[in-house]
Amino acid sequence: MHTDELLAGLRAAGEPTRLRLLALCAQGELTVSELTQILGQSQPRISRHLKLLCDAGLLDRFPEGTWAFYRLAERGSGLELSRALARLVAPDDPLLAQDSARLAEVKRARQARAEAYFRANAAHWNQIRSLHVAEAEVEGALLAAFAGRPIRQFLDIGTGTGRILELFKERAERGIGIDLSREMLAVARARLEDAGCGQFQVRHGDMYHLPFAARSVDAISIHQVLHYADEPAAAIREAARVLAPGGRLAVVDFAPHQLEELREEHAHRRLGFSHDEVAAWCESAGLLPAKPIELKGDPLTVTIWMADAPAQAARKEAPERTAA
């Protein structure tokens, strides 16, 4: 990092509120309104501080419709400095501990809203999804993304109704779907039983803490899940941890769009993702991105992003977790 870039970054971070903002954004991406709520300061003031941190390369800003998300820089000269500064902040500092407690409240409120939505819509989830996407076309493309690959163990993250597991009935020897919603899992179990998918099971699980050993899964799908996620990059990192050498991850989600009603009516946190954004997350997790598949729609376009684990598994991994 050049001296002028280092000095600019240190000047930007050298202010109490901006240091607090760095510490918060190190715990996940946040909106201006969430940061305002946590710090108890005015939105214009928080926005000014965030602009200075972005200008110094310490934070990344991703505008989406009427929202904008902020997180620690993932590329460029500020990547290492932002993380170093966040690590140096003492977590037991009273003010920062208070910020973290308020952040936990914000995340709990998000989760409660999402769970309430899922409970209300579990029984007709497929109908809601089909309002925006031609599912048959997406499913065909998803199967094609794994064409020619033997699948001994398949993992569907955020399995919902279990439809993706059912789709891979003839392709995978074994499979597991995880979901946080017990109502969704009840729907999925009934569906898989009716479809004769005896090689598959579903279990309650968190996509940020998968109950599987490292390098244990041949193929992973994350189908229409990331737009609900607080930390999509962390979900991809955790998927990469359990992906076996030579295995493939396929993420199915929307391209960037402006349909704010999906936030208001359907609990979407993100209004789609760009190719560069998803590729950067995969590369950071040690995966090798492949050319994405775009399925044009009106008004929504669905994209399938694929990434492979290196055959020699020469990548940094999170600590191994044993199967539950």
Is pTM beyond 0.85? Reply is no
**Domain identity same for 195 and 250:** yes
**Domain identity same for 52 and 136:** no
**Domain identity same for 230 and 303:** yes
For residue 55, being part of any structural domain is answered with yes
271: amino acid identity, one letter: L
**Domain identity same for 77 and 154:** no
Mean pLDDT calculated for residue range 2-26: 91
pLDDT digits (tens, 9 = 90+) for 225-247: 999 998 999 999 999 999 999 99
Mean pLDDT calculated for residue range 16-44: 92
For residue 101, being part of any structural domain is answered with no
End of a domain among 37, 72, 89?
Answer: 89
**Domain identity same for 135 and 85:** no
Sign of torsion, CA 270 63 41 87? positive
Contact 89, 53 (CB under 8 A): no
**Domain identity same for 208 and 75:** no
313 band by pLDDT with thresholds 50, 70 and 90: very low
For residue 116, being part of any structural domain is answered with no
User: pLDDT: is 309 or 180 the higher one?
Assistant: 309
For residue 107, being part of any structural domain is answered with no
Mean pLDDT of the chain: 88
Give the span between the Cα atoms of 203 and 49, in whole angstroms: 43
Mean pLDDT calculated for residue range 130-140: 78
For residue 117, being part of any structural domain is answered with no
Question: Looking at the predicted structure, is the pLDDT value of residue 323 above 70?
Answer: no
Contact 112, 46 (CB under 8 A): no
Question: Looking at the predicted structure, is the pLDDT value of residue 185 above 50?
Answer: yes
**Domain identity same for 230 and 292:** yes
For residue 97, being part of any structural domain is answered with no
Residue-level pLDDT at 97:
93
Domain count, the chain: 2
318 band by pLDDT with thresholds 50, 70 and 90: very low
Question: Looking at the predicted structure, is the pLDDT value of residue 112 above 60?
Answer: yes
**Domain identity same for 139 and 218:** yes
CATH value at residue 7: 1.10.10.10
pLDDT digits (tens, 9 = 90+) for 141-180: 999 999 999 999 999 999 998 999 999 999 999 999 999 8
321 band by pLDDT with thresholds 50, 70 and 90: very low
Quickly count: other Cβ atoms within 10 Å of residue 136's Cβ: 9
Residue-level pLDDT at 125:
57
Residue-level pLDDT at 319:
46
Is residue 91 classed exposed, middle or buried when 0-12, 13-18 and 19+ CB atoms within 10 A define those classes? exposed
**Domain identity same for 155 and 303:** yes
CATH value at residue 294: 3.40.50.150
For residue 199, being part of any structural domain is answered with yes
**Domain identity same for 191 and 51:** no
Which structural domain range is residue 283 located in?
126-308
Question: Looking at the predicted structure, is the pLDDT value of residue 119 above 90?
Answer: no
pLDDT digits (tens, 9 = 90+) for 46-93: 999 999 999 999 999 977 677 888 988 877 778 889 989 989 988 788
For residue 322, being part of any structural domain is answered with no
130 band by pLDDT with thresholds 50, 70 and 90: low
Any idea what the Cα angle at residue 63 is, between residues 255 and 139, rounded to 5°?
A: 15
Quickly count: other Cβ atoms within 10 Å of residue 281's Cβ: 24
Residue-level pLDDT at 133:
62
**Domain identity same for 78 and 152:** no
**Domain identity same for 180 and 84:** no
Give the span between the Cα atoms of 31 and 25, in whole angstroms: 10
